[in-house]
Homo-oligomer: A and B are copies of this chain.
Amino acid sequence: MPHKTAISTEMTRCIEQCLACYTTCQQTALQHCLELGGDHVEPGHFRLMLDCAEVCRASAALMINGSPYHTEQCRLCAQICRACAASCAELDDMEDCVQACERCAESCEAMAAQGPQAGKARHRGAAARTQ
C-alpha cells in the first residue's frame, strides 16, 4: 500500500491530537462543566469549548481524507485551541482540557507551517508576538 504509507508520522500524530482534543473538550464541557455550573457554563466559555471540539473534528477529517486544504483548517484549529486553552486556564479543574488544547495547537501549527501560506502564518505569528 504505497499510498497509505505515505501518510507522514507527523500527520498521523496530528490526527490523534485533534481527536483527543475533540474528545476531551466535548466530554469535559458536557460531563464536567455542566455539572459544576457557575463560571463553567458562562456562555462564552462553554461555546468556545464546543467550537474547539467541532473544529478539531473538522481538522482531523480533512487530514484523514488526505485533503490539500488541511493546512488552512489546521491553522484555524490551532487558533481556536489556543483561545480555548486560555479560557480553560482561568477556571479550576480544567488542566486536562488545557493540556489537550495546547498539544493539539502545537501539532496543528506544525501542519499549518507546511502549508501554501506558511510564510503568512509566520508573519501572523510575528505580529501576534509584538502586540
Contact = CB atoms under 8 A, between A and B. Distances in A.
Interface residues on A, range: 35 or more
Contacts of A4: 27-28, 31-32, 96
A79 interface: yes
Contacts of A55: 58, 62, 69, 73
B76 A51 contact: no
A64 interface: yes
Contact of A26 (B23, B30, B48, B65): B65
Interface of A: 1, 3-4, 7, 15, 19, 22-23, 26-28, 30-32, 34-35, 37, 41, 43, 46-48, 50-51, 54-55, 57-58, 60-62, 64-67, 69, 72-73, 76, 79-80, 93, 96
14 contacts: A4-B32, A22-B64, A27-B66, A30-B64, A30-B65, A51-B62, A51-B65, A51-B67, A54-B65, A55-B73, A58-B73, A72-B76, A72-B79, A76-B76
